[in-house]
Amino acid sequence: MHSRPPQVMRPHVLPFLALPLMACTLVPVGFGSDGGAGGGGAGGTEDAGAAAVDAGDAAAPTDSGTGGAPGTIDPSGSLKAATWVDLSSPKSGTLPFSFGIAFKKGDVPSTFALDTPDAQVEVKRRWPDGSAKHAIVTGTTTLTAGSAKRLNVIAGSYAVTNPLTCNDIALAAPTATVSLGANGTVSLTPLLAKPTRTWLSGDQAAECHYTGRAGALLVSFHVRLHRGGATFVRVIVENGWLDAPSPDLNYTPSVIIGGAAALPAKPIAHTAHSRWVAEKWLGIDPEVTPRHDTVYLRDTRLVPNYWRTKKADASKLDALTQTYEPMSSGEFSRHMSDTGYQEQIGLLPNHDALYVMSDADPRAFRSVVANGKALASFPVVWRDSADSLPTRPSGRAHWTVNGPDQGGENGVGVELGGLYWEVAHHPSGGYLAYLITGEYVFLETMQHQASTVYLVQSTSTGYGTSRQLRGQTRGSAWSLRTVGQLAAIGPTGDGVTDDYRELVQKNGAALLASAQLRPTSVTGLVYVDDLNLYGPATLGAWQANFLVQSIGHLSDLEPLADMTDWNRLRDYVYRLPVGMLGDGSSSSYCFAQAGKSRLILAPAAISDLSQQLTNWGDIYRLNFGTTPCTNTLGFEPSWASTNYWGNMLPALSHAVDHGAPGAQAAFSRLRGASNWQEYLGADWGQNAPLGVVPRNSQL
């Protein structure tokens, strides 16, 4: 199914305590002579300086709805959403929690509350109509061990009367020390006076971030302090500068948080352009797990509409990677350019899709979280020393993974025996994890992978936000998905997100311009990297349908303030899946043969899309001769979850959802096939990424 691209080498809960409150001052600090954040040298000691950040990144980009005075909910406001989150823990008591929550467009016009008093809401992103799209809810609630407590979304808001800030974290004085062998040691204590970012600040919790250096390594601390004193610390150790040395390193790390080890003492091979994570609660881990309403989550359109009548297989959930280890690959293919079906390929990878299909089973939740961290074991970390942020197109307009004004690559990493990231098969990473947890580490994973997508492109495709995401057709498809997911859900006012939103807009404009050159094209093709790759004028139809589903998916996500032109592009490209499921009449393709992987578009080699045939009936006859159209699906529909039938399904389903002409009839033909039950019987509960069905299908 997937041809192999050219191989490329890597270029506790504490007793309640009342904390005094002071203003939080953010102190960005410049760079040392080694080009990294602060002044730590190679093999040196701790760098107490904070990494520089831009003004848009220093403070948490939030808007109305922040806060949460204990016991106070203003019941005013309007609300259309009817959703909830269940919280559970193996422990009993008043426990801290934090989670992300997504909303359907228009359901939350301004802000919202929960039917629990001790919480704060921070809306991080809004839909173009101004309604809430994504928010982070933090607070405390009383739980009974082993019993889920449902928190319902209600109309109202939390007053902001006594917000916790970075200064409260400094006064609480949490301790953490990271020792990285000969590279050096970084302690949190001297960094507490110099936070680089405020991510959360309200009456129930504050989260601030701090950064230091140990030689070439960047060490970040994410510290969340809850009202009552419970404190969570996450450590991120990163070896991934764009424009400064990031050599492969071997060392045995020691991470001590609150006086206890947060990581087993064993050697790590820390390869270039990767990072690892360790984390711990100070004292007792409350072990609170959120369980989201996945029926509503689908309805938000922020995740695909995976089968609602099918459930994830219990055996598959048991087998998922549920714990994270530094430098592990998780559920991702270690060598992403391998041919054939891979569980990571799709709008979301398999473990994310299974989370939705399992009604947020805790096993799947743990897998989403573990894999959201594991992706950065691959070489996707390209931090810019100029601002210490993930690389932005506007900041490095002429750069690629190979340096300024250089060519691009299909992939980066270690070809033999290591972890190899490849653009044509790379997964969505961090998106669902960020959506349901609100944890910054997953947002930054999205940003890092978006920068990788940008940097593997040659400068020949453009500069800065005008660079086109090209290469293999499937690579273009998944690149748009990756960058578009970030652009759609990244926080308002975040500089990195804003850059990639502009990149999405300009790529969409270029593809629309391609469509406008051929307004009457029956196939709706806008980009094919090589029109003769699989034979004269032979299209890799599955790759083209990947591009269609990505464009349709982003239409649902609405990353742009004005989606008009994007949706014009969307409607044009839907001609491909709709046309491939034609009724078999003289001017139509036969739906029963839509599982064909390679589609001949013209009788001889072509150099331009304008040279393809102009009639679906002619295309069918060129591929199948006089074979009559029947009502029986060919090409092994019983394997649809992993073959070309599945590759086509999300594209067709999005076309139905968006009312594309002929799409509903096309899906009805598929569903009416004599062997439709074989299609239904594919192992969708094991292999879920391609199981996206129309929202009106009751499937």
Residue 207 and residue 113 share a domain: no
Q: Are 96 and 140 in contact (CB under 8 A)?
A: yes
Point out the domain boundary residue: 139, 162, 185: 162
DSSP letters, 235-293, are: EEEEE-BSSS----EEE--EEEETTEESS----EEE-TTEEEEEEEESSS----EEEE-
Residue 324 and residue 256 share a domain: no
Q: What is the mean pLDDT of the chain?
A: 91
Residue 110 lies in a domain: yes
In the chain, % of residues over pLDDT 70: 89
Residue 169 and residue 122 share a domain: no
DSSP-derived letter for residue 69 is -
Phi and psi of 592, rounded to 5°?
A: -65, -20
Helix intervals (H) in 361-472 = 362-374, 431-437, 440-455
- In angstroms, the CA 144 to CA 436 distance is 23
Q: What is the pLDDT of residue 82?
A: 83
Q: Is the pLDDT of residue 29 over 60?
A: no
Residue 28 lies in a domain: no
Point out the domain boundary residue: 106, 138, 162: 162
> pLDDT tens across 97-109, in order?
999 999 999 999 9
DSSP 3-state of 388: coil
DSSP-derived letter for residue 38 is B
Residue 185 and residue 250 share a domain: yes
The answer to whether the Cα torsion of 661, 663, 664, 666 is positive or negative is positive
CATH number at residue 297: 1.50.10
* Lowest-pLDDT range of 42-46, 104-108, 444-448, 474-478: 42-46
- In angstroms, the CA 217 to CA 220 distance is 10
> pLDDT tens across 304-335, in order?
999 999 999 999 999 999 999 999 999 999 99
Nearest CA to 126 among 564, 508, 561? 561
Partners of 279 in the β-ladder:
234
The residue that leads in pLDDT, 48 or 482, is 482
Phi and psi of 661, rounded to 5°?
A: -55, 125
SS3 content of the chain, % helix, strand, coil (to 5): 30, 20, 50
The residue that leads in pLDDT, 572 or 50, is 572
Residue 671 and residue 652 share a domain: yes
* Lowest-pLDDT range of 12-26, 192-206, 533-547: 12-26
Q: What is the pLDDT of residue 415?
A: 60
Residue 358 and residue 506 share a domain: yes
Residue 195 lies in a domain: yes
Residue 41 lies in a domain: no
Residue 30 lies in a domain: no
DSSP 3-state of 522: coil
Strand-pair category, 217-226 with 205-214: antiparallel
Q: What is the pLDDT of residue 426?
A: 97
Residue written as tokens 């093709």?
A: 525
Residue 106 and residue 149 share a domain: yes
Nearest-Å Rg of the Cα atoms of the chain is 25
Residue 541 and residue 394 share a domain: yes
Q: What tokens does 16 get? A: 């309640």
> pLDDT tens across 519-532, in order?
999 999 999 999 99
Residue 38 lies in a domain: no
* Lowest-pLDDT range of 23-27, 133-137, 235-239: 23-27
Phi and psi of 352, rounded to 5°?
A: -70, -45
Residue 485 lies in a domain: yes
Partners of 197 in the β-ladder:
209
Q: What is the pLDDT of residue 78?
A: 75
Residue written as tokens 């033999």?
A: 416
Residue 220 and residue 156 share a domain: no
Q: What tokens does 383 get? A: 């931090």
Q: Is the pLDDT of residue 359 over 50?
A: yes
Residues in the chain: 699
Report the alpha-carbon angle 559-560-561, nearest 5.
130
Torsion of CA 302, 303, 306, 309, to 10 degrees: -60
Contacts of 165 (CB under 8 A, 6+ apart): 21, 22, 23, 24, 198, 201, 206, 208
Q: Are 229 and 172 in contact (CB under 8 A)?
A: yes
Residue 688 lies in a domain: no
DSSP-derived letter for residue 91 is S
Q: How crowded is residue 147: how many other Cβ atoms within 10 Å of its Cβ?
A: 11
The domain total for the chain is 3
Residue 447 and residue 415 share a domain: yes
564: domain range? 292-680
Q: Is the pLDDT of residue 573 over 60?
A: yes
> pLDDT tens across 48-91, in order?
333 333 333 444 455 544 444 444 566 666 788 789 999 999 99
- One-letter amino acid for residue 28 of the chain: P
- In angstroms, the CA 399 to CA 241 distance is 13
Residue 376 and residue 246 share a domain: no
- One-letter amino acid for residue 485 of the chain: Q
The 10 Å CB-count burial string (b at 16+, else e) for 461-471 is bbebbebbbbb
Torsion of CA 93, 98, 103, 108, to 10 degrees: 80
Point out the domain boundary residue: 239, 256, 285: 285
Q: Is the pLDDT of residue 366 over 50?
A: yes
Residue 253 and residue 157 share a domain: no
Mean pLDDT of 276-287: 97
Contacts of 303 (CB under 8 A, 6+ apart): 297, 348, 352, 356, 432, 435
